[in-house]
Amino acid sequence: MSFQFEILHLDALSSARCARFSTPHGTVETPAFMPVGTQATVKGISPQQVEQVGAKMILANTYHLALRPGSEIISSLGGLHRFMGWNGPILTDSGGFQIFSLESERTITDRSVVFRSHIDGSVFDLSPERAITIQEELGADVMMCLDHCPAADLPAVEQADAVRRTVIWAQRCARAKRRTDQALFTIVQGGLHKQLRSDCAEALVDMDFSGYALGGLSVGETPEQMYEIVEFTTPLLPQNKPRYLMGVGRPQDIVEAVDRGMDLFDCVMPTRNGRNAMAFTSSGNLRLRNRCHRDDDRPLDSQCNCMTCRTFSRAYLRHLFQAGEMLGPILLSIHNLAFYQQLMRNIRSAIGQGLWREWCRQWKKDYLGLE
Amino acid sequence: MSFQFEILHLDALSSARCARFSTPHGTVETPAFMPVGTQATVKGISPQQVEQVGAKMILANTYHLALRPGSEIISSLGGLHRFMGWNGPILTDSGGFQIFSLESERTITDRSVVFRSHIDGSVFDLSPERAITIQEELGADVMMCLDHCPAADLPAVEQADAVRRTVIWAQRCARAKRRTDQALFTIVQGGLHKQLRSDCAEALVDMDFSGYALGGLSVGETPEQMYEIVEFTTPLLPQNKPRYLMGVGRPQDIVEAVDRGMDLFDCVMPTRNGRNAMAFTSSGNLRLRNRCHRDDDRPLDSQCNCMTCRTFSRAYLRHLFQAGEMLGPILLSIHNLAFYQQLMRNIRSAIGQGLWREWCRQWKKDYLGLE
């Protein structure tokens, strides 16, 4: 059996859990954070460096790769793993998120979503079946069903329509799937409406997917609203399947979601913020452009063992950003990804040792400065 | 003795030679190519990656680092090696090249050259003595005398004035030098005028520097004019000291200059061209944006063992450039630097085996397509 999800520890006082997710390209200890490689590259970082920061599984994007270079090209070159030189597990997002993020460039019907390409204006018609065909050409370990991801603030009637469409599309995706060496995850929508989340989860659980994602979060709602929906929805999902909170998020969001039972995460934040001179550290975030760092010989984070922290001072990193040198974004992306991976290791270790809630309390104190 | 220059092989049919140049931070086999790290970073590449491509010695720039972050800051952080995380030999150019490249932003007198900072318009007064002070604060293994580098097409009277000033400044640099753990190289100017080159070389050789550079080349003259000046000037320089051809150049320029007795080279070409999607290969150059590469599964160069060629296809590299992804410039810079280092290894090996002229003939055939 290519895919297994084996629960190793269940926390006694929360919904937090540790598990081992096996895929054809390797095993992922969860809770896990997946670096984002939308266009078949984690921005600015070689696959070797992605491995060195400790990441096991990464993300790529169906919509973007279908438009450029095209999934048939990637397929003819041996699939996405070979194309991008990453031999670990990969998950491909389906394009559902682009229904939200490229709202002005698409028309949605029950049949499909028709995009005007953000590259050259050409028409790209993405049906649930096409999303599966493309993802089978890409050959990632985990495919996502095409879903309808709406903005968080849409009225209930539109959220309900997105749920209805997401459920129909999930069924069509499951039927379209041919390859047996790829897992298919589905996505629970429903915005901030508990009844819709519940309806959506119930319908999708009946179809028995290999994994369940929460979508439509981190799209404009407050963190507290997000935590509430996660807390409400997680118990509706199968205990013995991976749960994936899409597009989340800040370190504190991940900690809160793990506490509520989520296993997998992805977010552009470590790389995007890194490119913008913001470093995550165990004692809070640093803005490297600030003048206070100009002659600071310390590493970004004395608790971090990444290549950036082993080699360079804050003063040098600031210099790179001030001088507009590419190495600044590269080194901060590496550090931030390493920070996220270290965070996940600490989370797994705390759960495994039965110290989860105590660890959380100390972590918030250190990272957020909360007592 | 910190610095040694030991000649290992002299070619019988040309002026080509192999030598071992020892510095406080390690030994460099020559002929050698030094990657350029103007602002204390080889653009887009970590020091570890610079090492992995096989480079032993790199370049940094006095003018740029004095303006930003400031040599006193670098000094207070333990010097340039520690600042930039490079433990091998470093050579700092003096700022003389900026007299040429920033011509509209400077005023030159015998006392000094006064720049208007290209960053903030502030005044930066660089005398020969100040160039040495700054370079001693930076702490590179090899310092360069401040010279007056004029454009190649200036009339003889102005070239003569630049030579006169370069000689006076070399003397002042030698007098200003305090540290004994840094070598000081001087620079022969004189444009395309053999008499001026000869006068300049003679005066500088009398002063007994640790190494001799040829400056004022690769500044607008033809390759043939450059080769002629190299061929004319090399015999005027001491046999037992390193000879450095500044800012050169294309692979074929390096081969021609080695043939005429040069030992050290630097150029931005491998990294700059790499950022612009141009790859050097053993069978000629590739433009990765060309459509012909879109589904080409081959590595850039089947004879290259760099990380880029071991891991990625031309199709993937093209995709990165088409998608505007940072990893494209990074991977091509790595490859191009590796190509240059492999070229230098091949050159040294051919000289060492007494096969230099035969190797040259075959190399030109393969690389330039010349019979």
Please list the helix, strand and coil fractions of chain B in percent, rounded to the nearest 5, in that order.
45, 20, 35
SS3 state at A308: helix
**DSSP letter assigned to residue B142:** E
Please give, rounded to a whole number of angstroms, the shortest distance from the CA of B319 to a CA of chain A.
Answer: 6
**pLDDT at residue B290 greater than cutoff 90:** yes
pLDDT at B23: 98
Q: In which element (H, E) is residue B185 found?
A: strand B183-188
Distances (CA, A) of B311 to A43, B281, B307: 17, 16, 6
Name the 3-class secondary structure at A14. Answer: coil
Q: What angle do CA B245, B249, B252 make, to 5 degrees?
A: 105
Token pair recorded at residue A299: 């590493």
Q: What is the DSSP string of B42-71?
A: -TT--HHHHHHTT---EEEEHHHHHHTT-H
Q: At what angle do helices B156-176 and B194-206 cross, to 10 degrees?
A: 10
- Separation of CA A136 from chain center: 20
DSSP string, A80-148: HHHHHT--S-EEEE-SHHHHHHTGGGEEE-SS-EEEEPTTT--EEEE-HHHHHHHHHHHT-SEEE----
| Any B CB within 8 A of A14 CB | no
- List the structure tokens of B74: 């670098």
Question: What are the residues whose beta carbons fall under 8 Å from the beta carbon of B224, sequence distance 6 or more?
Answer: none
Residues of chain A by 3-state class (helix, strand, coil), percent to 5: 45, 20, 35
User: Could you give all domains of chain B from N- to C-terminal order, each with its CATH number?
Assistant: 4-267 (3.20.20.105), 282-371 (no CATH)
Confidence check: pLDDT of A153 > 70? yes
Maximum alpha-carbon separation in chain A: 60
Nearest CA in chain B to A73: B295
B313 close to A (CB below 8 A): yes
Contacts 24+ apart (CB under 8 A), B176-179: B176/B128, B176/B129, B176/B132, B176/B133, B177/B132, B177/B136, B177/B143, B178/B132, B178/B136, B179/B136, B179/B139
For chain A, the average pLDDT equals 97
Tell me the one-letter amino acid at A366. D
Residues of A marked active site are found at 93, 266
Predicted confidence (pLDDT) at residue B308 exceeds the cutoff of 80: yes
Burial group, residue B180, by CB count within 10 angstroms (0-12, 13-18, 19+): exposed
Summarize pLDDT for B120-141 with one digit per residue, the tens.
999 999 999 999 999 999 999 9
Asked, as a colleague might, if the bond just before B235 is cis with ω within 30 of 0, I would say: no
Tokens of A351: 């759960």
- How many of the other CB atoms lie within 10 Å of CB of A122? 9
* A293 secondary structure, DSSP code: G
B311 touches chain A (CB under 8 A): yes
Q: Cβ distance B116 to B133 under 8 Å?
A: no
Token pair of B357 as six digits: 């002229």
* Long-range own/partner contacts, residues B110-114 (CB < 8 A, 24 or more apart): B110/B165, B110/B168, B113/B146, B113/B148
Element (H, E) at A194: helix A194-206
Percent with pLDDT over 70 in chain A = 99
Closest chain A CA to residue B333: A326
The percent of residues in chain B predicted with pLDDT above 90, rounded, is 94
CB-CB under 8 Å, B322 with A69: yes
Q: What is the pLDDT of residue B152?
A: 83
How high does pLDDT run on average in chain B?
97
Report how far residue B68's alpha carbon sits from residue A361's, in angstroms, rounded to the nearest whole number: 42
pLDDT for A64-86, tens place per residue? 999 999 999 999 999 999 999 99
Q: What distance in Å separates residue B50's CA from the closest CA in chain A?
A: 12
Question: Reduced to 3 states, what is the DSSP secondary structure of residue A18?
Answer: strand
Task: Report the half-sphere exposure of B357 (CA within 13 A, side-chain side).
Answer: 7
pLDDT tens digits for range A215-242:
999 988 999 999 999 999 999 999 999 9
Q: Regarding beta strands B32-35 and B264-267, do their DSSP bridges make them parallel or antiparallel, or are they unpaired?
A: parallel
pLDDT for the residue A152: 83
Return the bridge partners of A35, or none. A267
The alpha-carbon gap from A267 to the nearest alpha carbon of chain B, in Å, equals 18
Q: CB under 8 Å to A101, separation ≥6 — which residues?
A: none
Specify the pTM.
0.97
**pLDDT reading at A370 higher than 80:** no
Question: How far apart, in whole angstroms, are the C-alpha atoms of residue A337 and residue A32?
Answer: 12
The dihedrals phi and psi of B2, each to the nearest 5 degrees, come to -70, -35
What residues in B contact A313, CB-CB < 8 Å?
77, 83
Over residues B330-350, the mean pLDDT reads 98
Q: Buried (b) or exposed (e) across A125-148, using 16+ Cβ within 10 A?
A: ebbbbbbbbbbbbbbbbbbbbbbb
B68/A contact by beta carbon, under 8 A: yes
Share of chain A above pLDDT 90, in %: 94
Which region holds residue B272: left if phi is over 0, alpha if psi is between -120 and 50, else beta?
alpha
A294 touches chain B (CB under 8 A): yes
* Confidence grade of residue A267 (pLDDT, cut at 50, 70, 90): very high
Locate A175 and state its tokens.
């039927």
Whether residue A2 has pLDDT greater than 90: no
Confidence at B1, pLDDT banded by 50, 70, 90:
low
B123 and chain A: CB distance < 8 Å anywhere? no
Give Rg (Cα) of chain B.
Answer: 20
Confidence at residue A160, expressed as pLDDT on a 0 to 100 scale: 97
pLDDT of residue A371: 59
Q: How many CA atoms lie within 13 A of B209 on its CB side?
A: 30
Put simply, the answer to whether B43 touches A326 (Cβ < 8 Å) is: yes
Q: Which residues of B are catalytic?
A: 93, 266
pLDDT digits (tens, 9 = 90+) for A180-199: 999 999 999 999 999 999 99
